Copies of this chain bind each other. A is one copy, B any other.
Amino acid sequence: MSENKKMVEAITPQGEDFAQWYTDICLKAELVDYSSVKGFTILRPYGQAIWENITRIFDGMIKASGHENVAMPLLIPESLLQKEKDHVKGFGPEVAWVTKGGSEELEEPLCIRPTSETLFCDHFARVLHSWRQLPFLYNQWCSVVRWEKTTRPFLRSREFWWQEGHTIHETAEEAKEETLRILDYYTDLCENHLMMPLVRGPKTESDKFAGAEDTYAIEAMMHDGKVLQAGTSHYFGDGFSRAFDVTFTGRDNTLQYPFETSWGISTRLIGGIIMTHGDDNGLALPPAVAPWQVVIVPVAQHKEGVLEKARELRESLAKFCRVKLDESDNSPGWKFSEWEMKGVPLRLEIGPKDIEKDQCVLVRRDSREKAFTPLADLDTAIPALLGEVADALYQRAAANLTRRSFYCASMDEVRRTAESETGFIFAMWCGEEACEDAMKEQTGYSSQCIPFEQKQLSDVCPICGKPAKHMVAWGKAY
């Protein structure tokens, strides 16, 4: 048990230093490695496998609803980036510039895509002709580059992996519907697969995406009380279409501009999973995206028949779940800690005595609850237990969200809460940017979104006293 203990000690406890705990998990669970380029990370096999599971689930959702994947160029000419005024204002300052190709200086600098609205619009302008072609429901999986000053694995890095959906529609109504449909897919992904409860709604004017008419967000509550923006969906109206001269001949034979959306989720979600479900023993992965859902740890594996039985079990379990057999020379205790730290939802222990009784021990990562289970029942017991682990992760996260949700009617209440707690402060708002600034200055809290689920906490904005327009979810964001 000494190795075992050493291993657990290597992770900083959450209560001691949450940021260090997070970094420890990222590195020790072998999710990422730092690279030789500042702010650029490497997704190691375990981190990449989680990302691939997320992509498979979401890719299935959007393909089932008629979306198609494409691949756009990596580079954007400076002139193209500048076509939409708000967009270039938002992204211009944080892009990386290619100025040399081979041995030649480029006539026009090319930036590495920070997002690809401009490239999609440029393509749409070339291929769109008639209303009969609409809608275009496009998506791409790729990495993008934003020259961030301070970086952290998954949460903020100069390169990250994501999907960016870009659609154009005949009417504003259809585009608005798409924006919200995608928000529902994001919700389904987060709440039913990543087991991450959300607060959802539009962003305030000051917090919208560069060039968007409306930005909707899904916001998740992390274990430390800070908020993670987990995905956004934007409605652009026809602003980009006009800037890029994307037109089509409409049903009435007139030339029209299509209405556009874009939407994205990224490897940031892995940061969200870590900070939603992890604990002082390490990662705890939702079964839907865990690279291994079950790890088999043989006990006394040198004894006759143990490894054979364990391998037999791996074969039969592989038919209905993602299963890993740890045959390494490490002690069972070391393996228990290792796979607990890596967040595998279920551990299956099997030793000589279990084999005699045709049973094994199943141990849940979330509660560490143990159950002796007949081998003949595993094909029903394991899926059932994985479902229970998933539900328990959601319940625990939902309890954290509830415990950290504070409804305040007055500025006094807001201030007292902000001083003693971290979480969502729900409070009314007049709709003025000045009051957002004042809130930020006085409490350190900024607006996260205007939740779909509104409550009338007071009639006036607690900041300025003018009539209240909406209830805002204020928070401290990652």
Contacts and interface: CB of A to CB of B under 8 A. Distances in A.
A351 B225 CA distance: 63
Nearest to A120: B42
Nearest to A118: B36
A42 B71 contact: yes
A469 interface: no
Interface in A95-111: 95-103, 109-110
B69 A48 contact: yes
A40 interface: yes
A74 B119 contact: no
A96 B100 contact: yes
A328 to B, nearest CB: 8
Given A37-B110, A75-B40, A102-B147, A69 B52 contact: yes
A138 interface: yes
Interface string A21-38: 000000000000101110
A145 B74 contact: yes
Contacts of A188: none
A45 interface: yes
Contact of A80 (B36, B41, B44, B70): B36
A102 B98 contact: no
A68 B49 contact: yes
A43 B119 CA distance: 12
Contacts of A142: 143
A85 interface: no
A122 interface: yes
Contacts of A122: 35-36
Contact of A74 (B40, B52, B73, B102): B40
Interface string A101-132: 11100000110100000010011001100001
B127 A33 contact: yes
B100 A93 contact: no
A444 B51 CA distance: 48
B33 A123 contact: yes
Contact of A43 (B71, B143, B147): B71
Nearest to A44: B70
A280 interface: no
A99 B102 contact: no
B97 A98 contact: yes
Contacts of A36: 77, 80, 119, 122
A354 interface: no
A35 B71 contact: no
Given A143-B74, A159-B73, A119 B68 contact: no
A95 B99 contact: no
Contacts of A413: none
A94 interface: yes
A73 B35 contact: yes
Nearest to A75: B37
A300 to B, nearest CB: 21
A409 interface: no
Nearest to A148: B102
Contacts of A68: 45, 48-49
B49 A69 contact: yes
A161 to B, nearest CB: 6
Contact of A97 (B52, B99, B158): B99
A42 B102 contact: no
A145 B49 CA distance: 25
Given A33-B126, A36-B122, A40-B74, 20 more contacts: A33-B127, A35-B73, A35-B122, A36-B77, A42-B71, A42-B119, A45-B69, A45-B70, A48-B69, A48-B71, A49-B68, A71-B161, A74-B112, A74-B159, A96-B102, A98-B112, A99-B100, A102-B147, A112-B112, A132-B329
25 contacts: A35-B123, A36-B80, A40-B74, A41-B73, A43-B70, A44-B127, A48-B71, A49-B68, A51-B71, A52-B69, A73-B159, A74-B74, A75-B96, A75-B145, A93-B102, A94-B102, A96-B98, A97-B99, A97-B100, A98-B99, A98-B112, A99-B99, A100-B109, A112-B112, A132-B329
Interface of A: 33, 35-37, 40-45, 48-49, 51-52, 68-77, 80, 93-103, 109-110, 112, 119, 122-123, 126-127, 132, 138, 142-143, 145, 147, 158-159, 161, 328-329
Closest 5 CB pairs between A and B? A45-B68, A102-B147, A40-B73, A43-B71, A97-B100
